């Protein structure tokens, strides 16, 4: 876990999907308390810190539980209902746990034209899951997402903090092996 | 590593150093002449002079709307004491668009230079780069550039002894296309749902945190250092009177060589498609092309002999938009393609306006029904009716964007609709 001190300008801009997370990890302690404080210095009010702070919680715990929502609400002087209205609006916040590797396949038009649907099917078959489920070994969750902004490299697949470009049905097996 | 598919017919200003890994570092960037423009602007130009040269260049916003950048900057108050903000729109989420990603991952300092100069021009004390959270491979590159720029005194207090101070923060989105709309972005930055605001007030009067704010696209800002260094006339040597300079077109779909290409704005669309992008896959023909991201009208194969300027693509029946070109060859069923695009808008609608929330939902549903063989002939006028009710009636233009592919596909590819409807009815009779 990143104990290295981050520059305050980027303290709130860290990836929120990590393979190593712990649903019971303490929130806002040690280096993370420092990051929380640094994030707050970058905005004129507390509410503005909500996205980076929630992202930091998800980075640690892998998903956003109601307990997390309550903690964040308390720290930012907001109501839990308000925080929930944010986590449910922005699609990157996970309302329940996911596999160690969250595999997000773009099926928007650019990737769709290049066979994204087949890639999804192949990934689901290879992981033995249905969309959104966690595989039996706890390793994989496959979901379809909208445009990931790399459309010329179709099909685009994002796994946690990595982007895989030009994924074809034939390369799916290799991609999964690489993850293990 | 050579950047994928560069072409001698490109005019590479922004993309000159794409593919050079050293250009991503501060030292590498300085070796390539980087930060000279910042020194020039902050050291020897007034705020007004910077705005003036950008006005002279004719630069128009590259985020989609094409509003003149210098003019937008001139709307910011001059003699007030309020804090001003520059928000760099790096939310790039429009299907087909992946040009800002290339700027950020190959030339992050080019963007930072633009942010610093832009902030100076509008008197901003703080610049936020709002990057979509999904850009997991781009974000660390930008972060590193920001940290390095701080450490070398290009950001922070009294930049290069100029007396001008600027804080810059990288702010991540968390999954919402609508946060790319500028007032949606301001709400999102403030920690709210990214619901667009009714304008006026415009951001220059009342933007982020209620303060005067300018929102600019990544590409608009990244080209500013070049204009500051070389002058407005220099930039005008490319393109047309109304569309000066160069533009990045990110090209995807059915192409031999998809990728991001930088062309003078008077470049011909056909040349872009056949020459630079290598044409359609072997043995295929183009059926349809969307030149500016999924929000702009679809062009048919016989409409492609057009100039890639704002006025040229408009005359052809479409728009420059974000420059996200989507090519579809003759294997494409247009009902399927449009269904996928409309589902995107249905998924991304923020839900504030009834026309958009309901319109995108029902249009997607009808398109799915047609594609699956349950369509009726009345579905065509129904889709057109829904589209008419969606355009021009909402707080932001997401709703109009969803209507564009529906209407243009029905105008130009009605056969695809009728064939599916007929096939469905035929099948129904057979059962
Ligand atoms: C639904 C919607 C999504 C948008 N998404 C983006 C985007 O991802 N990036 C962007 O720069 N502009 C986007 N825009 C345009 C912005 O509202 C705004 O015009 C632009 O950021 C202004 O910058 P510019 O003047 O430099 O082009 C979007 C607009 C709409 C209506
Ligand atoms: S369409 Fe797949 S990344 Fe844009």
Domain coordinates in residue numbering, chain B: 21-236, 246-329, 334-430
Nearest to A149 among B93, B143, B340 (CB): B93
Closest ligand to C-alpha of residue B54 is: 1
Q: How large is the average pLDDT for residues B418-425?
A: 91
Q: What is the DSSP letter of B2?
A: P
Instruction: Assess whether pLDDT exceeds 90 at residue A180.
Output: no
Whether ligand 1 lies within 6 angstroms of the CB of B180 is answered as yes
Q: Which CATH class is domain B246-329?
A: alpha beta
- Centre of ligand 2 from the C-alpha of residue A157, in Å: 9
pLDDT in tens, B194-248: 999 999 999 999 999 999 999 999 999 999 999 999 999 999 999 999 999 999 9
Instruction: Say whether B214 sits in a helix, a strand or coil.
Output: strand
**In sequence order, which residues have a C-beta less than 8 Å from that of residue A103 and are 6 or more positions away?**
A123, A127, A140, A141, A142, A143, A157, A158, A159
CATH, domain range A1-95: 1.10.10.1590
pLDDT in tens, B320-362: 999 999 999 999 999 999 999 999 999 999 999 999 999 999 9
Residue nearest atom 1 of ligand 2, based on CA coordinates:
A110
- Centre of ligand 1 from the C-alpha of residue B395, in Å: 14
pLDDT in tens, B396-407: 999 999 999 999
Mutate to test the interface with A, among B171, B188, B328 (most CBs of A within 10 A): B171
- Centre of ligand 1 from the C-alpha of residue B319, in Å: 14
Whether ligand 2 lies within 6 angstroms of the CB of A159 is answered as no
Q: Which CATH class is domain B21-236?
A: alpha beta
Nearest to A109 among B93, B209, B341 (CB): B341
Measured at the CA of B412, the angle between CA B410 and CA B418, to 5 degrees, comes to 55
CA distance B258 to chain A (A): 5
pLDDT in tens, B14-50: 999 999 999 999 999 999 999 999 999 999 999 999 9
CA distance B260 to chain A (A): 8
% chain B with pLDDT above 90: 97
Residue A118 · residue B64 · CB < 8 Å = no
Residue B134 · residue A158 · CB < 8 Å = yes
**From B57, B59, B64, mutation site for ligand 1 pocket: most ligand atoms within 8 A of C-beta:** B64
Domain spans of chain A, in order of start:
1-95, 101-179
At the second CATH level, the architecture of B334-430 is Up-down Bundle (1.20)
Residue A105 · residue A120 · CB < 8 Å = yes
Answer yes or no: do B97 and A49 touch at CB < 8 A: no
- pLDDT class of A5 with cuts at 50, 70, 90: confident
Q: What is the C-alpha to C-alpha distance for residues B73 and A31, in angstroms, rounded to an integer?
A: 39
HSE at residue A119, side-chain half, CA atoms within 13 A, is 31
pTM: 0.97
- Centre of ligand 1 from the C-alpha of residue B89, in Å: 7
Q: Which CATH class is domain A101-179?
A: alpha beta
Q: How large is the average pLDDT for residues A113-126?
A: 97
């Amino acid at each position: 876990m990143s104990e290295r001190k981050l520059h305050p300008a980027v303290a709130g801009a860290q990836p929120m999907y990590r393979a190593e997370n712990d649903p019971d990890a303490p929130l806002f302690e040690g280096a993370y308390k420092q990051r929380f404080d640094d994030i707050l210095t970058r905005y004129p009010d507390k509410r503005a810190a909500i996205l980076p702070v929630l992202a930091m919680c998800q980075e640690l715990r892998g998903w956003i539980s109601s307990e997390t929502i309550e903690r964040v609400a308390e720290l930012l002087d907001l109501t839990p209902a308000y925080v929930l209205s944010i986590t449910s609006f922005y699609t990157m916040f996970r309302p329940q746990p996911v596999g160690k590797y969250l595999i997000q396949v773009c099926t928007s038009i650019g990737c769709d034209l290049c066979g994204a649907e087949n890639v999804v099917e192949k990934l689901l078959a290879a992981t033995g899951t249905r969309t959104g489920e966690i595989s039996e070994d706890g390793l994989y969750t496959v979901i379809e997402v909208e445009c990931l902004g790399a459309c010329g490299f179709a099909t685009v697949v994002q796994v946690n903090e990595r982007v895989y470009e030009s994924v074809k049905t034939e390369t799916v097996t290799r991609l999964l092996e690489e993850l293990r | 590593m050579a950047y994928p598919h560069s072409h001698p017919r490109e005019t590479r200003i922004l993309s000159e150093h794409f593919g050079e890994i050293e250009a991503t570092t501060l030292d590498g960037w300085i070796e390539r002449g980087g930060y000279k423009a910042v020194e020039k602007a902050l050291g020897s130009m007034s705020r007004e002079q910077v705005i003036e040269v950008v006005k002279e260049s004719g630069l128009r916003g590259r985020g989609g709307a094409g509003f003149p950048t210098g003019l937008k900057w001139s709307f910011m108050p001059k003699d007030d004491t309020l804090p001003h903000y520059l928000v760099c729109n790096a939310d790039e989420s429009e299907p087909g668009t992946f040009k800002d990603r290339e700027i950020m991952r190959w030339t992050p300092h080019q963007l930072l230079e633009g942010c610093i100069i832009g902030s100076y021009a509008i008197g901003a004390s703080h610049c936020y780069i709002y990057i979509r959270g999904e850009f997991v491979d781009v974000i660390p590159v930008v972060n590193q550039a920001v940290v390095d720029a701080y450490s070398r005194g290009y950001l922070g207090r009294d930049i290069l002894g100029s007396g001008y101070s600027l804080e810059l923060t990288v702010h991540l989105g968390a999954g919402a296309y609508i946060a790319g709309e500028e007032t949606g972005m301001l709400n999102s930055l403030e920690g709210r749902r990214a619901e667009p605001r009714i304008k006026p007030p415009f951001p220059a009067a009342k933007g982020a945190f209620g303060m005067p704010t300018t929102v600019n696209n990544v590409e608009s800002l990244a080209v500013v250092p070049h204009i500051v260094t070389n002058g407005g006339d220099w930039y005008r040597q490319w393109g047309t009177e109304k569309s000066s300079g160069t533009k990045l077109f990110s090209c995807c779909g059915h192409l031999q060589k998809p990728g991001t290409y930088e062309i003078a704005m008077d470049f011909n669309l056909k040349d872009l498609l056949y020459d630079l992008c290598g044409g359609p896959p072997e043995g295929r023909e183009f059926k349809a092309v969307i030149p500016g991201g999924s929000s702009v009208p679809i062009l048919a194969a016989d409409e492609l002999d057009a100039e890639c300027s704002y006025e040229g693509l408009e005359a052809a029946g479409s728009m420059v938009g974000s420059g996200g070109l989507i090519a579809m060859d003759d294997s494409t069923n247009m009902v399927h393609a449009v269904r996928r695009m409309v589902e995107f808008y249905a998924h991304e609608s923020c839900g504030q306006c009834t026309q958009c929330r309901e319109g995108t939902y029902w249009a997607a549903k009808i398109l799915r029904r047609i594609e699956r063989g349950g369509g009726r002939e009345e579905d065509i006028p129904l889709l057109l009716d829904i589209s008419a009710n969606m355009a021009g009636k909402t707080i932001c233009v997401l709703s109009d964007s969803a209507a564009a592919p529906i209407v243009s596909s029905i105008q130009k590819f009605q056969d695809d609709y009728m064939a599916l409807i007929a096939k469905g009815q035929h099948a129904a009779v057979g059962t």
